Amino acid sequence: MKRMLIIGPPGSGKGTQAARISESLGVVAISTGDIFRANVKEMTPLGVEAKKYIDAGNFVPDEVTNRMVRDRLTQDDVADGFLLDGYPRTSAQVDELDDILAEGGHELDAVLQLTADDDELVARLLKRAEIEGREDDNEEVIRHRLGLYKEQTQVVVDRYLERGIVRPVDGLGDVDEVTERVLGALETPAK
């Protein structure tokens, strides 16, 4: 497993688990959220554009996100594999990722799907917002993002289920336990 993605609703632990998987498997973890935040902080043209959507609790449009991911996946450090966190989120992004990988003669090996209860996710994200001072994480925005996730990204999961590469993992519990479940899921056949 060298080319993977981790998918799940906001607050399901994708970032934490991506870092642990990256270290354990020796692949680069690529978070679109981190790329967006860096661009916003640096006030790049992309960051200014992305901030409008992020502040409203909406996803950044495919065209902007696709350009960032395409650029990132052409960099040398991903030659031996990667774990994408936060992309693809739409059917169009699945197509774009397929095109990007096909250009290099590759395809996606696995999709780790973290699952968690909505109320637990809201509580986690409100706590994170308080700790990190994230202005974009209030309950209304969080619930809006969870709704968008369900509405827009279920088709992504469905498309990867058709390919037989989805590995569902319960994202609730101790971080170490979740990591064990994730790594175990990579060793078992997909569902």
Residue 111, domain extent: 3-184
Long-range contacts of 94-102 (CB under 8 A, 24+ apart): 94/156, 94/159, 94/160, 96/62, 96/66, 96/69, 96/70, 97/5, 97/69, 100/69, 100/70, 100/73, 101/3, 101/73
Is 89 marked active-site? yes
190 found inside a domain: no
- Ligand-binding annotation for 41, yes or no, is no
Please state the pTM of the whole predicted model: 0.82
- Ligand-binding annotation for 14, yes or no, is yes
- Ligand-binding annotation for 66, yes or no, is no
Residue 23 belongs to a domain with what CATH number?
Answer: 3.40.50.300
189 found inside a domain: no
The total of structural domains in the chain comes to: 1
Is 128 marked active-site? yes
Residue pLDDT, tens place only, 12-56: 988 899 999 999 999 999 988 777 787 788 888 878 888 888 888
Question: Coil, strand or helix: which one is 60?
Answer: coil
Residue pLDDT, tens place only, 72-112: 888 899 988 999 998 898 888 999 999 999 998 999 999 99
Is 127 marked active-site? no
